[in-house]
Structure 1
Amino acid sequence: MFDNGAETRLVRYSSDATGNDNAGRDAQNVQVVRQFAVPAGARSVTLKFRMYDAGNNWYWAVDHVRLDTRPITG
């Protein structure tokens, strides 16, 4: 969310076969890249991570989060 504005979901994983970013499959060791427009005049951004209703939740991690204006190369 920018400057306490409306939240926007960028990624959603679920065990459901449709309506999410992983088609119900495990997502291990994957790079996820999302592009989004920054509102004119925005001065701050807030990123949130949420896990809920997790069954078989023996391991869950988010790492190497990068928020930048430059593309990832290499």
Structure 2
Amino acid sequence: MADDGPVENWTVRDRISLVTKVLTAIGAVQYLENIIGQLQFYQRATLVVIAVLVLGELLQRTRRVIGADG
């Protein structure tokens, strides 16, 4: 969104963009919940481990970038 100021100053395009992003995120979460609901316990555990590893790697990269810039 172009303007991160008060909501009152947002254009119609900014508001539509936000609503679209929120609806897309909700749809993605529901889709993942549907898939995960069909998995066995050990498959869910594997997914959780992979997610934690990916998030850890992203955090490390973010820290490196922040450390290099700041």
TM-score norm. by structure 2 comes to 0.22
Structure with greater helix share of residues = 2
Say which structure, 1 or 2, has more relative contact order (CA 8 Å, 6+ apart): 1
Larger radius of gyration: 2
